[in-house]
Structure 1
Amino acid sequence: MSLRLRSVCCVVLPALCASPAAQAMQPADQSIPAQPAPNSAEPAIIDDEEFDATIPAIDPDAPLGTVEDWDAEQTELEAQARPARDPSLSNDPMLPRLPDEPEIDAPLGPIESFDVEPFDESRYTEADDSVSKMVRYSYRIEGLDLLGAAAAGSDPSPDGAGAIRSRFEGLSALDDGDGKASNGAMVSARMLEDQQLLADLLIGECFHDATVNGAIEFPEAGTGPLVVVLTASPGPCYRFGSITFDAPPVEPEDLISRNFVPKPGQPIDAERVLAAEANIAVALPQSGYPFAQVGQRDVLLDPETETGDYTLPVTPGPRSSFGDILTRGSTVFDSDHITKLARFKKGELYDSRLVDDLRKALVATGLYSTVAVQPQPTGVEAPGGTQYADLAVDQEAGPARTLAANAGYGTGQGIRAQGSWTHRNLFPPEGALIVSATGGTQEQGASVTFRRSNAGRRDRAVELSLSALRSDFAAYEAFTGRLAGRVSYYSTPIWQKPITYSYGFELLGTNEQDFNFTTGQRDRRTYYVAALPGQITWDRSNDLLDPTSGFRLSAQISPEASLGSGTQFYGRGLFEATGYYPVGDNIVIAGRARVGSIYGADRADIAPSRRFYAGGGGSVRGFGYQELGPKDPDNRPIGGRSLVEAAAEVRYRFGNYGIVGFIDAGQVSTRSTPGFDDLRYGVGIGGRFYTNFGPMRLDVATPLGRRPGESRVAIYISIGQAF
């Protein structure tokens, strides 16, 4: 006998099967008894001659009566057949005669004459311990120790039973009830539900003849919890016999079979079957078949051999290459600009991964409320014996303008807030205008920036900005005007690139106050600086905002000229490395090292704002902003020409919160060669609150070996990790 299976699913995959019980394996030979057709020949009860003899003869000469005559005749016949009725009887002649009851005929007296006892509902509202007491129960499963032997034909395997138990506990109504129920009927209902659940789990694991019986054991002493016993009889584990794909030839010819993981002889596991079919549905569009469809599987079970012959219909559709890009809906970009975002060219073999990549690139522009990219068949012949598949981009424009703000606090830097207004598509395509303002206790400024994203190629930006800033720190006071331009190849939260870079120019005019060691007083001086800054980063971390593994290496180099009273040429270089190492699931060890140097000019010839400083939330914590390093006679920082920094953190996260312990070190020197002879240290602890855009940070630190003028405690509040 063979059984035919039309669908295989597992109760642990509710998203893939609406009802596990409904998709259990059904025998094909179950039949419904055939019903005779309405016109089929059957023996007559009486023959025609006998039927005609029973019909009274009709006199053809007799006149027909009227309808009124017929009604009168029927009324008379009914009267003759009706027995005489006593008036004391009810209207129903079949009821017996009622006894004479004078009280029934007497009229009712007034309501006040009745002695009525008020209804006492307290008997029903007061708690009844025997009713309100919860029924307690426990449950156990028997028979799962046979799974290993049934599946492997050897000694029982605890692993199979353990997996079934784990899945059962996650879905069980009995387990979810925590051993308490309102009454015994509820316990019984949960038992019945879990019987079906356990049977579905066993069927999904290849035990397609599995049955589960349930019973309730009552305590012998009459007290104590009930015990629900589920007894499983798994039966044999069915294995794949033949595996057949009902599909036309594809290229390569093993494209379908190699993406179906189960092999003949292996158990018919519903979860693995569904995963393998999904893998085929994914692999075909990635290999040139955008219109592929996977049909309904068919499994023919043979109880005698305990095998199942598996057949899967697959309709691959035409093998296709990328065609044209078509735009529909509320158009944000035309097809030419969308083509620049695509990582494929017309005529290349279709790959759904590149289509998904294009859709993400469109989403990353921030200019869409919704966007979809769908292949469209054309029937037009393409290279390599394929057909062109056009891509239809359905667009719906979103708001192009945004307001943004951020704020933070740091010891020595004070409160700092920044807000910006951005129109991301003021100069299509993707030409943005950004107006920002900075306000704080020690910084005030404004800037205007033009930025074109995806300029000429994907993820390349061109910027031009003009800004004015006033800074009043312990190290210097400066009024700065800046004109800068930059070309950058950047990472986004959707695509974190291993290599990013930027290059550009910078023109500064800045009036700054600095301590003059020759005159012994603070002088103001105007500096004119021209620079050609460049940066390159190698990023192998796993996240831009909150990395937990990997590393980053970064180098910044800026040839500069200080103009004004004599021209000085010099170079600024800054190199940084960070690393992240996970220890378990919740602990990350992070480290950072930074080295910087300025060559070619004396410290006095370099604008104070262009020198190196250390201290602050993004530098050496425990010290105020720019506080660490050489100082003037008034104990104010003067900056230096070299920098060394290092930091180590232990980050522990629990849910959306985290605790960080850290130690930082750093040194700033007046010489160009970085030194390690006067390293200063700061230690502290921090808290983190993790959001979907990055962690909120609060760090509290103190310097070791505090010197006069240095803060005892430094506090830093900002968004993002320290590094």
Structure 2
Amino acid sequence: MRPSACLVALLSAGMAMPATAQLRIDAPAAIVARIAPHLPANASQQRVEALAGQILATEGYFSPAFAFAEDEAGLQLKIDSGPRTLIGNVDVAVDGPVNEKTRADLIAGWRLPVGQPFRQDDWNAAKQQVLAELLAVEHAAARLVDSQAEIDTETSRAALHARYDGGPRYRFGALQVDGLHRYTPALIARYNRSVRPGDPYRSESLQTLISNLQATPYFANVRAELDTAAAEMADDGSAVAPVRLRVRERPGHRAGFGAGFSSNTGARVEANYNTPDFFGQAWEFDTGLRLEQKRQTLYADILLPPDGGQRRHSIGVVSETSDIEKLKTERHALGIQSVQQRGSVEQRLSLNWQRERRTPEGSEIVTSRALVPNVMWTWRQVDNLLDPRAGTVLQLSVGGGATAALSDQNFLRLHGRVQHYLPVGERDTLALRAELGRTFADSRLRIPQDYLFRTGGTGSVRGYAYQSLGIKEGEATVGGRYLAVGSVEYTHWLNDTWGVATFIDAGDAVDELRDARLAVGYGLGVRWRSPAGPIGADLAYGERERQLHLHFSLAIPF
């Protein structure tokens, strides 16, 4: 028997094969693997031969030879597959008013070219690909008119013929919306940046509209389709068809309750209330109370729909108390913000006023006030927003306050961070992270902690407690005017779900550069790919304090 032959116990035959007999297949491994799963138990020799022949034909073998032999080990089926049929000729025609470049690209991109082995699955996929590309761009009524595969068993060649009718070229007509109760079509228009009357039909444009609307707080379900039955012919020969948009609105009121744990701030319980139609204006109102071991937060936000420039404005208030690294703070803040996406760059403009009362253990109480205009840019260029293996995320922010404008101290704050991903092999990833910050001011005193720097903990320098790296003021750790953090992490994925990581972090926050002394932490972690992104658990050793810390995180880029 050939080395490539496989012996597979498949079935007990009926009348032709005794119930105690085993069928062994003598054929190349690839053919055995293709045939064996589909042969039923207790089949006759005639039935086995017929099924095997049908399966081999789908792989391009149209003249196989079968021979049964019985010995002491049982019944053996020897298969000589014969020559494999190759594509000898391809004839693809696309009729109708199709753009000549589009027509040429479709024919040139045919997926089953001359010289390739004929397989039924490949033949079906090639036909479907051309039709799908026609349906996606302008030709919403395209169809496969005729297809035929002519097999010449003597020459082992296949001649393929496929003919398509592109139908008319469609353009978008008016948007017709069904399912609105609380909202008006004007709200839909604010999110519609892709389906414009008169534009050439694109299925991608419809999908973009659906995605944009379903990402809003207003709609639970969205469907959109081109109504070709209601199309009207235009003077240029194209067909103008309305777009039928069917929506189902989300409930007008939602309340949520949750519990959790963070390695930074401890155990957590929270309650939240949300309505997407505050005051009947399609304003999203979101408020909640979050109680953590080290921090307690009460907040309320109002978010408006996007304006004509696709900017989304919001206003919010927050009251927060915390006790972290022996620093107690009470913070009350009011802010307005405008967010705009420009390609791969997100821009956030904000104006925030806050009053902070901080009580360091072993030092005096300080009250700080600041009115801070701030701008932040985030540039994302990654292959996957939730689970990247390649690409870069860069964030820069600039903000400051002045004593002439409701602040207790003159200061300018600059902050930047970058995360870069490099794929290694088929699965693994090398992640590089860096963060720099500086607050220009004569002194850190009377500047709120949000505009100074502390580090340590999950997402910064692992191996140290949350915000434990900074300036000692009495027994407490407070923010300094300089920040530097760097990290290298290598993740090896064992399979599609689980991975292990090794990392080294270094960083510190200081008030004077001469005091800079990077704290180093390193360790091992596990990763689990959840629907929300990779979840990580890391055990890290901090060299400065010679302690182990366990960190949990949702390991996605900022």
Q: Shorter-chain TM-score: which interval?
A: 0.7 to 0.9
Q: Max radius of gyration: which structure?
A: 1
Could you list the runs of 5+ residues in structure 2 that have no partner in the other structure?
Answer: 1-17
Aligned counterpart in structure 1 of residue 88 of structure 2, from 216, 219, 239: 239
Q: Give the deviation of 1:704 after TM superposition.
A: 1.1
Name 1:474's counterpart in structure 2. 325
Report the counterpart of residue 259 of structure 1 in structure 2. Answer: 106
Of 358, 382, 387 in structure 2, the residue corresponding to residue 512 of structure 1 is: 358
Aligned partners of 2:139, 2:460: CA distance in 1, in Å? 53
The AA in structure 2 aligned to 1:354 is S
Query: Which residue of 2 is the match for residue 464 of structure 1?
Result: 315
Q: 1:251 to 1:547 in 2, by over 3 A?
A: same
CA distance in 2, matches of 1:511, 1:427: 34
Deviations 1:110-154 (A, max 9, x none): xxxxxxxxxxxxxxxxxxxxxx99755542326xxxxxxxxxxxx
> Matches of 2:157 and 2:541 in 1, distance apart?
72
Q: Using the alignment, how far apart are the partners of 1:309 and 1:687 within structure 2?
A: 54
| Residue equivalent to 1:716 | 551
Which has the larger share of strand? Answer: 2
Report how many residues are paired: 535
3-state SS, counterpart of residue 195 of structure 1: helix
**Whole-angstrom distance in 2 between the partners of 1:196 and 1:344:** 48
Deviations 1:57-115 (A, max 9, x none): xxxxxxxxxxxxxxxxxxxxxxxxxxxxxxxxxxxxxxxxxxxxxxxxxxxxxxxxxxx
2:170 paired residue number: 320
Q: CA shift at 1:506, angstroms?
A: 0.5
Look up the match of 2:27: 141
Contact 1:527/1:563 (8 A) holds in 2: no
- Residue 485 (structure 2) aligned to one of 630, 640, 645: 645
Question: What SS is found at the alignment partner of 2:461?
Answer: coil
**C-alpha distance in 1 between matches for 2:231 and 2:135:** 17
Distance 1:703 1:332, change over 3 A: same
Per the TM alignment, residue 469 of structure 1 is displaced from its structure 2 partner at its CA by 0.7
8 Å CA contact retained: 2:528, 2:535: yes
2:78 is matched with 229
- The match for 2:4 is none
Per-residue deviation, residues 343-367 of structure 1 (Å, max 9, x unmatched) = 2422122222211211222222254
Task: Identify the residue that residue 15 of structure 2 maps to in structure 1.
Answer: none
Rounded to whole Å, the distance in 1 between the matches of 2:74 and 2:309 is 71
State the shift of 1:434 in Å. Answer: 0.7
Question: Structure 2 vs 1, CA of residues 583 and 323 (structure 1 numbering), >3 Å: closer, same or farther?
Answer: same
CA contact (8 A) 1:475 1:626 kept: no
The aligned runs of 1:516-665 (5 Å cut-off) are 522-561=363-402, 567-634=408-475, 636-653=476-493, 654-665=495-506
* CA shift in 2, pair 1:309/1:186, >3 Å: closer
TM-aligned CA deviation for residue 427 of structure 1:
5.4
Secondary structure of 1:274 counterpart: helix
Superposed counterparts of 1:186-225, under 5 Å: 192-202=50-60, 210-219=62-71, 222=72, 224=73
1:416 is displaced (CA, Å) by 3.8
| C-alpha contact (below 8 Å) 1:562/1:605 kept by paired residues | no
Counterparts in 2 of 1:174-573, with a 5 A limit? Answer: 174=36, 185=43, 192-202=50-60, 210-219=62-71, 222=72, 224=73, 226-234=75-83, 237=86, 239-240=88-89, 243=91, 245=93, 247-248=95-96, 250-260=97-107, 261-262=109-110, 265-266=114-115, 269=118, 270-299=120-149, 310-329=160-179, 334-340=184-190, 341-365=192-216, 367-377=218-228, 378-382=230-234, 384-402=236-254, 403=256, 405=258, 407-410=260-263, 413-426=265-278, 430-458=282-310, 460-489=311-340, 498-514=344-360, 522-561=363-402, 567-573=408-414
* Contact persistence 2:370–2:406 (CA under 8 A): no
Pair 1:678-2:517 in alignment:
yes
Q: Secondary structure at the match of 1:613?
A: coil
- CA offsets, 1:679-701, max 9 Å, x none? 11011212222211122322221
CA contact (8 A) 1:407 1:718 kept: no
Q: Which amino acid aligns with 2:263?
A: G
Decide whether the 8 Å contact of 2:370 with 2:409 is kept in 1. no
Judged with a 3 Å threshold, the aligned counterparts in structure 2 of structure 1 residues 292 and 481 are, in CA distance, closer, same or farther, namely: same
Shift of 1:273: 3.9
Q: Structure 1 residues 311 and 657, CA, compared in 2 at 3 Å: closer, same or farther?
A: closer
Q: 1 CA distance for matches of 2:135 and 2:324?
A: 60
1:522 partner SS:
coil
Query: Residue 332 of structure 1 contacts residue 395 of structure 1 at CA under 8 Å; is this kept in 2?
Result: no
8 Å CA contact retained: 1:697, 1:721 = no
SS in 2 for 1:347: coil
Change (3 A) 1:587 1:236: closer
CA contact (8 A) 2:169 2:238 kept: yes
The one-character-per-residue Cα deviations of 1:514-561 (angstroms, maximum 9, x if unpaired) are 47xxxxx52122221111121101111122222221111110111223
Question: Unpaired segments of 5 or more residues in structure 1?
Answer: 1-131, 143-164, 492-496, 516-520
Contact 1:256 1:280 in 2 (8 A): no
Shift of 1:486: 0.7
